[in-house]
Amino acid sequence: MADTEKQLEQKRVTNVVQQIGNHIKKVSDDYKDARSEMKLVQSNYSANTSVNYFEVDDRIETSAEIQQQRALSSRLIENEQILSRQLATFRQLEKSPYFGRIDILDPGETEQERLYIGTASFTDENQNFLVYDWRAPISSIYYNGTLGKVAYETPAGIQQTDLKKKRQFLIQDGEITSMFDTNETVGDEMLQHVLGEQNDDTMQNIVSTIQREQNDIIRDTHSDLLVVQGVAGSGKTSAILQRIAFLLYHSRDELEADQIILFSPNRLFSHYISDVLPSLGERNMRQVTLSEFVNQRFQGLEVESLFDRYETSKDISEATQESHDFKESAAFMSAVQDYCQTLPASQFKFNNILFKGNIFFSKQEIESIYRELPDMQPAERFLQTKNKLIKRLKHRINEEAKSAWVAEEIDQLSDEDYHTLLGNKELGRFQQIDDEIRYIARKIVTERLRIVYDAIYNSYFLDTYTQYTDFLAHCQRPATIDAKTWQEQTVAFQEALEYHHVLLDDVAPLLYLRDILTGSGQNRRMQHLFVDEMQDYSVAQLLYFHHAFPKAKMTFLGDSEQALYRNVESPDMLLHKLKDAFHVRKARLISLNRSYRSTLPITTFAKSLLPDGDHIQAFNRDGKVPTIVVRYDLDSAITAMHDLISESLKTNGTVAILTKNMDEAKLIYQHLHHDCDLTLLTDADRSLPKGVFVLPIYLAKGLEFDSVIAWNVSQENYPSSRELGILYTISSRAMHQLSLISIGPVTNLISQNVPQTCMQIEHEFSN
């Protein structure tokens, strides 16, 4: 491109950067003002909260003032937060104001329009757009269109235009480092540059290089269920995050970040992706792991985690596996639903409600309330039972409030405690002192009996576990599961319960049963549900999420070939299963087959492990072929590991040693941590350190590292195709370098599938 052209563009960049700089100064001043105002209100507030509370009039006045100040300070806090977010956005924009330019000619116009696209909009004093937000309707042309006639979607409908030029920029600290015109979606040159960089400890946004098929995922606002099957490294996680940023922009007035929930595979991942949305000027969505989500719903019990199950259930029989599969299926969830809908009142299992070890409401009493109600949906009937119990509780509170112990307690109250019990709102409400005392008495008893109220409110009087056992006994199982194996499932469930454990298979059906019978457990505020690594969830769990967030549109992303916890499925099978299970109006399936993470030799190696790997397209980025180091005993393998680490560190910032399980990770740590700076990562870790670390593959789900060393890929350790998903997932975590160590002969998964030219094998020959 002619130098003058570049000079002209640089001139514009410099000018825009200067204007952004001026704007930052202004926003900084506003921010400082907002902060000092905030401080002033806060100091006033604390002065007021310490005023004398004992004169009734004073109290009323103070309370009103406090309410006012609270409202004022929350408004100020919000304002301050907005300014602070704006500042962060503009500071980023100042360094790199845009990454793209499109020249368009609208129908009927004679003059082309030139638009620049960046991570956020920026207008000059006259409200002319100097930079368009990448999420603006017009910006979609940049990602989707090749030169010529193009269409784009706007709130007013589809618009047509003629795309005359598409230019890409790389701008660092206000300087154009490269720029080129392209007719492709986003040219490979730009991608080469971005992908060749070293890994950061948190993920980066990809807005400047979003690919056309990723753009389809990001900008889909129509589907109720969007399922993305994408090969390893195809940008699924990136697409989720840009999609969230897009949705927040698109529905700015109706959607808050906390109405979006993402199920992430582990805590390291949660941290890994935490910077992307803030880098785009947005707040993070809510993030949970399956374990966090279910543990919160089973208070007092410990739920088996995916990791626990992975670590312990290595050798289960085929028959048991069939029972597991059934319990994880959509058919099983339907069976739960049928059971609940047709459950006769006499089969309802209730618990006593206890107070200090004594029965407060007996299960017989609850049962008779339930039975006497007319026939209706179980949840409605349960709710009415609940209301009747609360009524009876209130009655008993009123009676108890007249007891001598309550009067005595009131006598003993200090003035301060008395007023605290009375509360701000009730100050001055009672004309008669007797009324006030009766009120206080009821409050004392209510507090004392709160535990009973909570038990009613939280539906603890349904004996969920006995009910579930009853369901298991009555459930129609497939003919392939014999009675004995099925009975073993019930026993396993009950035995676990004795130790306050719930097995993972039982989690979704158990929660579903409880929710249907009690009419609880649903969050209708959540508008979007995202599940990353969907292949690691059972269909039953996904259906439960759908039930728990009934209003949420669903986006499920995953890779059937990275299955760690079950056998690898073909993408078609997985999609078919999900489509059948979710009866939604607008379902859409998108496949991503191009892999961006790894160098060409690494992707070629990883895809040849898979029987159907041909559909995976590698991004053409140079690198060394993966090395396989074969040793014949543990000590030599550890020495080889040591050498590989030193060699990897010469060119890579992060080196991850990935193992099949935690025992292997500990073993390596024990042998190596004295000689090199090595960290062992566990389930409890929330962030990745720099340098060298060792972790089992399930904790590395969704992550990527400059260099990966796979531990012991021998035939003994990876004997069958059951381990294929594990090996593929490990190999596909590497960005620039992949090495694999084997103690003894290498697994057939590699030796029989990967062509010799795609790897370099180094044997140690003993003499």
Ligand X SMILES: Nc1ncnc2c1ncn2[C@@H]1O[C@H](COP(=O)(O)OP(=O)(O)OP(=O)(O)O)[C@@H](O)[C@H]1O
Nearest residue relative to ligand X (C-beta): 235
Q: How far is the CB of 595 from ligand X (least distance, A)?
A: 8
Answer for the pair 461, 359: CB distance below 8 angstroms, yes or no.
no
**Binders of ligand X in range 312-371 (CB under 6 A):** none
- String marking each residue 220-259 x if it binds ligand X according to CB under 6 A: ----------x-xxxxxxx---------------------
Nearer to ligand X, 370 or 728 (CB): 728
What lies within 8 Å, CB to CB, of 552 at 6+ separation is 261, 526, 527, 528, 529, 546
How far is it, in rounded angstroms, from Cα 494 to Cα 507? 13
How far is it, in rounded angstroms, from Cα 158 to Cα 164? 19
Q: Which of 76, 179, 210, 539 binds ligand X (CB under 6 A)?
A: 210
Answer for the pair 237, 261: CB distance below 8 angstroms, yes or no.
no
Does 713 carry a binding-site annotation? no
Distances (CA, A) of 113 to 125, 162, 200, 203: 20, 10, 37, 34
- Which residue is it, tokens 């007319």? 374
Q: How far is the CB of 594 from ligand X (least distance, A)?
A: 9
Terminal Cα distance for the chain, rounded: 62
Q: Which of 704, 718, 737, 749 binds ligand X (CB under 6 A)?
A: 704
Strands (E), 436-505: 501-502
Does 235 carry a binding-site annotation? yes
DSSP code of residue 643: H
How far is it, in rounded angstroms, from Cα 158 to Cα 142? 16
Nearer to ligand X, 73 or 139 (CB): 139
Q: How far is the CB of 233 from ligand X (least distance, A)?
A: 4
Nearer to ligand X, 98 or 596 (CB): 596
Give DSSP secondary structure letters for 219-286.
Answer: T--S-SEEEEEE-TTSSHHHHHHHHHHHHHHHTTTT--GGGEEEE-S-HHHHHHTTTHHHHTT----E
**Binders of ligand X in range 490-509 (CB under 6 A):** none
- String marking each residue 15-44 x if it binds ligand X according to CB under 6 A: ------------------------------
Under the criterion CB under 6 A, does residue 702 sit at the interface with ligand X? Answer: yes
Element (H, E) at 178: strand 175-181
Give the pair of three-digit tokens for residue 442.
Answer: 């009821």
Give the pair of three-digit tokens for residue 603.
Answer: 């992707």
Q: How far is the CB of 458 from ligand X (least distance, A)?
A: 38
Give DSSP secondary structure letters for 546-571.
Answer: HHHSTT-EEEEEE-GGG-SSS----H
What letter represents residue 588's amino acid? R
Q: How far is the CB of 42 from ligand X (least distance, A)?
A: 41
Q: Which of 121, 168, 214, 707 binds ligand X (CB under 6 A)?
A: 214
Does 32 carry a binding-site annotation? no
The gap from C-alpha 641 to its chain's centroid, in whole angstroms, comes to 34
- String marking each residue 708-747 x if it binds ligand X according to CB under 6 A: ------------------------x---------------
Nearer to ligand X, 120 or 210 (CB): 210
Rounded (to 5) percent helix, strand, coil in the chain: 50, 20, 30
Nearer to ligand X, 596 or 718 (CB): 596
Nearer to ligand X, 188 or 463 (CB): 188
How far is it, in rounded angstroms, from Cα 687 to Cα 270? 9
Q: How far is the CB of 193 from ligand X (least distance, A)?
A: 10
Nearer to ligand X, 489 or 562 (CB): 562
Give the pair of three-digit tokens for residue 85.
Answer: 């977010």
Does 234 carry a binding-site annotation? yes
Under the criterion CB under 6 A, does residue 512 sit at the interface with ligand X? Answer: no
Distances (CA, A) of 521 to 457, 530, 537, 755: 12, 18, 19, 52
Q: Which of 92, 119, 209, 737 binds ligand X (CB under 6 A)?
A: 209
Nearer to ligand X, 211 or 351 (CB): 211
Does 231 carry a binding-site annotation? yes
DSSP code of residue 20: H
Nearer to ligand X, 466 or 593 (CB): 593
Q: How far is the CB of 265 from ligand X (least distance, A)?
A: 9
- String marking each residue 87-126 x if it binds ligand X according to CB under 6 A: ----------------------------------------
Q: How far is the CB of 557 from ligand X (least distance, A)?
A: 7
Answer for the pair 497, 465: CB distance below 8 angstroms, yes or no.
yes
Q: How far is the CB of 2 from ligand X (least distance, A)?
A: 28
Q: How far is the CB of 381 from ligand X (least distance, A)?
A: 45
Coil, helix or strand for 599? coil
Does 613 carry a binding-site annotation? no
Nearer to ligand X, 249 or 269 (CB): 269
**Binders of ligand X in range 540-559 (CB under 6 A):** 559
Q: How far is the CB of 204 from ligand X (least distance, A)?
A: 6
Strands (E), 383-522: 501-502
Nearer to ligand X, 9 or 706 (CB): 706
| Contacts within 8 Å (CB) and 24+ apart, 367-371 | 370/345, 371/345, 371/346
- String marking each residue 662-701 x if it binds ligand X according to CB under 6 A: ----------------------------------------
Nearer to ligand X, 69 or 208 (CB): 208
The gap from C-alpha 119 to its chain's centroid, in whole angstroms, comes to 23
Q: How far is the CB of 553 from ligand X (least distance, A)?
A: 20
**Binders of ligand X in range 561-600 (CB under 6 A):** 562, 596-597
- String marking each residue 135-164 x if it binds ligand X according to CB under 6 A: ------------------------------
Give DSSP secondary structure letters for 454-467.
Answer: HHHHTTTTB-HHHH
- Which of 210-218, 299-307, 673-681, 742-750 is the region at the interface with ligand X (rule: CB under 6 A)? 210-218
Nearer to ligand X, 194 or 761 (CB): 194
Q: How far is the CB of 732 from ligand X (least distance, A)?
A: 5
Nearer to ligand X, 69 or 535 (CB): 535
How far is it, in rounded angstroms, from Cα 313 to Cα 326? 17
Length of the chain in terms of residues written:
767
How far is it, in rounded angstroms, from Cα 599 to Cα 623? 6
Helix and strand totals (H; E) in the chain = 28, 26
DSSP code of residue 488: H
Count residues near ligand X (CB under 6 A): 24
Q: How far is the CB of 730 from ligand X (least distance, A)?
A: 11
- String marking each residue 168-207 x if it binds ligand X according to CB under 6 A: -----------------------x--xx--------x-x-
Distances (CA, A) of 133 to 110, 121, 123, 427, 717: 25, 4, 11, 53, 50
Q: How far is the CB of 284 from ligand X (least distance, A)?
A: 16
What lies within 8 Å, CB to CB, of 47 at 6+ separation is none
* Residues annotated within a binding site for ATP: 230-237
* Residues annotated within a binding site: 230-237
Q: Which positions touch ligand X (CB under 6 A)?
A: 191, 194-195, 204, 206, 209-211, 214, 230, 232-238, 559, 562, 596-597, 702, 704, 732
